[in-house]
């Protein structure tokens, strides 16, 4: 047994790496200057630290530092990208293409713009979670100003074909924005080779602190322009006013540097653990994997266990494993996951799903414990289920 529940909810957030915390600490009470203060050493030290972090983040995604805008996280970066493009390119058109399996930050921003007169195409996905590239190209019109497709899905880990998407967007001279919050720091992401024009990322999804992220904004071929969404001191080259969160930005920079150095090793260790967990659980009867088996993040696995409800299953072991179902908790009612529904799952199957997110810190002992706990929980609940009994009867 472990002292605390085994944490397998790393797609919701990750632990901040102790090396990141250590790098941040001096910027709270010693080097606490405002990075915009130009007249003294405190300001210079802060500005220098921000500049260094900007280089670290830029090199993680293959950008140059002038293309990185610091924000309070991916949600803000996504809002700035989509609303910023919508306002700036209003003269060209009002049509945005996105996908039904996007994160709420994208879906709700697009719905918001739809109420203001935007025309939104919500592309469906195939059963494996991937979009159909022909459907994407067919949806483009002369009024299309933005294609917005996430890099990797937060519930299933499914990785979209970003290079092909960017080729289509470029052919039609449409800006391509990608929410890469789950991909950056976990798998190699490069804005040059992938041809992404706007990319959102968040520190707390890859062992950095919460409340800080960035938007990559392409400067050349094409130069992407954005309408600022916050008015104020004109920080971040006028695109995002507000005093910079210096400790947070330093932490994001350090997390980026660690990801560059350790990503390959992390994947080599995490992938076999994910596969061990997945293969063991797929041995259970009537258990299915959601999402493309190959085009998928190495640390994510989403499974459906027929004849039970994941919320009930989690209650049987939530002191032992910290997990999340695919479903998003919307106020009082539990909605089935819009991602799994878009992939064609029934409400029942969507409610029977769990998402496992591993991390740099996940150990083999934890995975062995999770496998054992999961198998016990599933068997116990099914043994009490009338639906399961009827199903078993129907087999004999
Ligand atoms: C977590 C997440 C977000 C939101 O990021 P914040 O920094 O918490 O605002 C957006 N998109 C995806 C895919 C995510 O996983």
**Cα 179 to middle of ligand 1, angstroms:** 8
pLDDT in tens, 336-390: 999 999 999 999 999 999 999 999 999 999 999 999 999 999 999 999 999 899 9
Our answer on whether the CB atom of 103 is closer than 6 Å to any ligand 1 atom is yes
**Cα 137 to middle of ligand 1, angstroms:** 27
Residues 227 and 83: beta-carbon distance below 8 Å: yes
Which CATH architecture describes the domain 18-258? Answer: 3-Layer(aba) Sandwich (3.40)
Cα–Cα distance for residue pair 43/54, rounded to 1 Å:
16
Residues 203 and 252: beta-carbon distance below 8 Å: yes
Our answer on whether the CB atom of 154 is closer than 6 Å to any ligand 1 atom is yes
**Model confidence band, residue 317 (pLDDT cutoffs 50, 70, 90):** confident
Reading across the β-sheet that carries 287-289, which strands appear in turn?
287-289, 300-305, 353-357, 324-325
The answer to whether the bond into 222 is cis (omega within 30° of 0) is: yes
**Tokens encoding 92:** 């060209």
The ligand 1 atom nearest the CA atom of 202: 7
What single-letter DSSP state applies at residue 158?
B
The ligand 1 atom nearest the CA atom of 204: 7
Which sequence spans correspond to the domains of the chain? 6-13+263-395, 18-258
Cα–Cα distance for residue pair 166/195, rounded to 1 Å:
5
Cα–Cα distance for residue pair 211/362, rounded to 1 Å:
23
Q: Say whether 200 counts as a known binding-site residue.
A: no
pLDDT in tens, 141-177: 999 999 999 999 999 999 999 999 999 999 999 999 9
Instruction: Kindly report the number of other CB atoms within 10 A of residue 38's CB atom.
Output: 9
Check whether domain 6-13+263-395 has CATH 2.40.50.700, yes or no: no
- Check for a shared fold between 6-13+263-395 and 18-258: no
The ligand 1 atom nearest the CA atom of 213: 7
Nearest Cα residue to atom 14 of ligand 1: 181
- The whole-angstrom distance between residue 282's C-alpha and the CA centroid of its chain comes to 25
Catalytic residues: 329
Question: Distances from the Cα of 115 to the Cαs of 16, 93, 122, 124, 242, in angstroms?
Answer: 38, 16, 15, 21, 28
């Amino acid at each position: 047994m472990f002292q605390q529940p085994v944490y397998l909810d790393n797609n919701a957030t990750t632990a901040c790496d102790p090396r990141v915390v250590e790098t941040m600490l001096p910027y709270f009470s010693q080097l606490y200057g405002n990075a915009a203060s130009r007249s003294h050493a405190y300001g210079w030290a802060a500005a220098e630290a921000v500049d260094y972090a900007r280089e670290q983040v830029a090199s993680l995604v293959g950008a140059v530092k002038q293309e990185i805008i610091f924000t309070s996280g991916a949600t803000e970066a996504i809002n700035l990208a989509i609303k910023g493009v919508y306002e700036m390119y209003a003269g060209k058109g009002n049509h945005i293409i996105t996908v039904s399996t996007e994160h709420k930050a994208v879906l709700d921003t697009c719905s918001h713009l739809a109420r203001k007169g935007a025309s939104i195409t919500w592309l469906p996905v195939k059963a494996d979670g991937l979009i159909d590239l022909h459907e994407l190209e067919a949806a483009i019109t002369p009024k299309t100003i933005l294609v917005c497709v996430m890099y990797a899905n937060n519930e299933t880990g499914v990785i979209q074909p970003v290079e092909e998407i960017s080729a289509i967007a470029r052919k039609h001279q449409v800006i391509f924005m990608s929410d890469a919050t789950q991909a950056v720091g976990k798998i190699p992401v490069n804005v040059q080779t992938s041809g992404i024009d706007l990319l959102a990322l968040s520190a707390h999804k890859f062992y950095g602190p919460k409340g800080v992220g960035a938007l990559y904004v392409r400067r050349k071929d094409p130069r992407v322009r954005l309408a600022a969404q916050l008015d104020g001191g004109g920080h971040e080259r006028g695109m995002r006013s507000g005093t910079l969160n210096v400790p947070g930005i330093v932490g994001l920079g350090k997390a980026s540097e660690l990801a560059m150095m350790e990503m390959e090793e992390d994947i080599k260790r995490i992938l076999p653990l994910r596969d061990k967990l997945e293969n063991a659980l797929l041995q259970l009867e009537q258990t299915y994997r959601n999402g493309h088996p190959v085009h998928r993040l190495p640390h994510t696995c989403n499974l459906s266990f027929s004849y039970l409800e994941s919320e009930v299953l989690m209650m049987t072991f939530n002191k032992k494993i910290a997990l999340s179902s695919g479903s998003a908790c919307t106020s009082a009612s539990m909605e089935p996951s819009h991602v799994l529904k878009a992939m064609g799952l029934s409400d029942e199957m969507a409610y029977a799903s769990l998402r496992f997110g591993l991390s740099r810190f996940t150990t083999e002992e934890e995975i062995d414990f999770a496998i054992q706990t999961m198998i016990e929980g599933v068997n116990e609940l099914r043994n009490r289920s009338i639906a399961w009994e009827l199903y078993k009867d129907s087999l004999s």
